[in-house]
Amino acid sequence: MINFFAYVVMAGDKRKARQNKYRTSEHTLWLLALLGGAPGSFVAMQTYRHKTKHTSFKYGIPVLAVIDLVILGIIGGVM
C-alpha cells in the first residue's frame, strides 16, 4: 500500500507543478520513500518525468528502491 500511496503523491505533485499550485514538500516525498515507498516513487518519477533532474532524487530513490526490494525479498523468503 505504501508504494501505491507514494506513487499517487508523486503523481499529484507533478500535476500541482504543472498547474503552479501549492506543492508537496520534498521532505514528504523522501519520507514516503524511506518508509518503503521508494519503488512506487521511482515508477512515478519515470512515468511522469518528475524530479528526474534533482540529483538527490535521481540517484537516491533508485538506491532506496533496490534496498526496499532486497529487504522485501529477505522478509518474504523467511516467512
Query: CB of 39 within 8 A of CB of 1?
Result: no
pLDDT in tens, 1-52: 999 999 999 999 999 999 999 999 999 999 999 999 999 999 999 999 999 9
pLDDT at 40: 96
Question: What's the grid cell of residue 70?
Answer: 532486497
This prediction has a pTM of 0.86
Q: Which residues contact 25 (CB under 8 A, 6 or more apart)?
A: none
Distance in Å from the first CA to the final CA of the chain: 19
Residue 60 has pLDDT above 60, yes or no: yes
